[in-house]
Structure 1
């Protein structure tokens, strides 16, 4: 039996981070079914913050308007069509009619989940945040939305509200985000999602399940 650590450096307002996580899940399922002894191995997944907006935005804007800052209308249409097509193959029903704002509250609740409940709960919170933002068209910069996502992941509402009402996690996520960026730079990665599997940055970007599967095997078998 082996414990394979996986760090996912991501931002909950990044739709490709959602795609990357679902692809990783598919690869883990295949690994456990097909790799010799894989059913006995366990995976410890932790989420590390990354701020697409290094300077926190003041207001939320429509997702389309956010994309229009760096894309032409035809490019936006193509990008959304690709996400919808890719998402469907992974059970994600992307919708882009919502608003997009700061991800700081979302990162703080992910930090809370890891601190009080560990990896499995943190993963449930991440999944809920992605779903609220990109399937339910809700704005995860909104306090009520973030609390709702955490409650779905079975964290008590009062615990979440008390944590977010104070300064809990504020300094910690800033430090973790800085450390994650530095680590990525050291290993030649520059964007998210970024997957650190077995202590090594295996690749950045979405990848496909075959790439993930190979990375899991490489982490399990160690240096050759």
Structure 2
């Protein structure tokens, strides 16, 4: 049995790589000899993309219009089509509506993920943390919800089967939020762990696929790691 360690540095506005990783793990465990006995140890590391420059929540389509103001309508349509197709290929049906909170809009979401994976929370394991990450991606990308809002986070965490008592406790842990701020800053910029952008995957401490790797790219890396381990 091998343990394949993956550091996933991302913000919750990055979704396709998460689904590709899920597909790659499922494919590996189903098809690679002995793969079903191998373990994937995933660390979810925070990053703030800071899309919203305003001190209040704002419509995501309005933000997109500002950020892509230099593109022609044709270029915008092409980008939208490409993103929609990439999402569908990964099982994501993007809903471009909804709002995004003020920066750092995803701080509380990262705070919940951090606490869901902390060792002192003996009631939860890595699968619970991964379920929470998936619920947060779904809230933002498919349900057009503002994941800076505590009520939205409560709903997402409940879908991940985290108790209401724990959710309410974790939302109040501002000291953990400060640690998340520090980690997000350490991951930022050319000298940071994430390098020049996110999402960033670091597999077994050495493999760092570029761009948005598909499931087969990741599967090949898993096999390399497994063969070295063997």
Q: Normalising by structure 2, what TM-score?
A: 0.86
Question: Is 1:108 matched with 2:111?
Answer: yes
Query: Residue 47 of structure 1 contacts residue 110 of structure 1 at CA under 8 Å; is this kept in 2?
Result: yes
| CA–CA distance in structure 1, aligned partners of residues 150 and 193 of structure 2 | 35
Tell me the equivalent position of 2:160. 153
Query: Residue 187 of structure 1 contacts residue 201 of structure 1 at CA under 8 Å; is this kept in 2?
Result: no
Question: Relative to structure 1, is the Cα distance of residues 169 and 3 closer, same or farther in structure 2, using a 3 angstrom cutoff?
Answer: same
CA apart distance, 1:168: 4.3
CA apart distance, 1:37: 1.7
Tell me the equivalent position of 1:90. 90
Tell me the equivalent position of 2:220. 214
Tell me the equivalent position of 1:4. 4
How many residues are aligned here? 219
1:1-224 aligned at under 5 Å gives the runs: 1-12=1-12, 14=13, 17-53=14-50, 58-71=55-68, 72=71, 73-101=73-101, 102-115=105-118, 116=121, 117-181=124-188, 185=191, 189-222=195-228
Secondary structure of 1:202 counterpart: coil
Question: Relative to structure 1, is the Cα distance of residues 186 and 4 closer, same or farther in structure 2, using a 3 angstrom cutoff?
Answer: same
CA apart distance, 1:77: 3.1
Q: CA RMSD in A?
A: 2.2
For residues 172-210 of structure 1, the C-alpha deviation after alignment (integer angstroms, 9 at most, x for no partner) is 11122233337x736783111100111125124322112
For residues 149-177 of structure 1, the C-alpha deviation after alignment (integer angstroms, 9 at most, x for no partner) is 11111111121112213414212111222
| CA–CA distance in structure 2, aligned partners of residues 86 and 113 of structure 1 | 29
Secondary structure of 1:69 counterpart: helix
Query: Residue 52 of structure 2 contacts residue 63 of structure 2 at CA under 8 Å; is this kept in 1?
Result: no
**Structure 1 consecutive aligned stretches of length 4 or more whose deviation exceeds 4 Å:** 54-57
For residues 2-56 of structure 1, the C-alpha deviation after alignment (integer angstroms, 9 at most, x for no partner) is 01111110001x2xx2110111111111111222221211101121000111998
Deviates more, 1:49-58 or 1:25-34: 49-58
Query: Residue 27 of structure 1 contacts residue 212 of structure 1 at CA under 8 Å; is this kept in 2?
Result: yes
Deviates more, 1:41-50 or 1:211-220: 211-220
Question: Relative to structure 1, is the Cα distance of residues 189 and 204 closer, same or farther in structure 2, using a 3 angstrom cutoff?
Answer: farther
**Greater per-residue helix proportion:** 1
Deviates more, 1:59-68 or 1:69-78: 69-78
For residues 67-103 of structure 1, the C-alpha deviation after alignment (integer angstroms, 9 at most, x for no partner) is 2222134444333322221111222111101112211
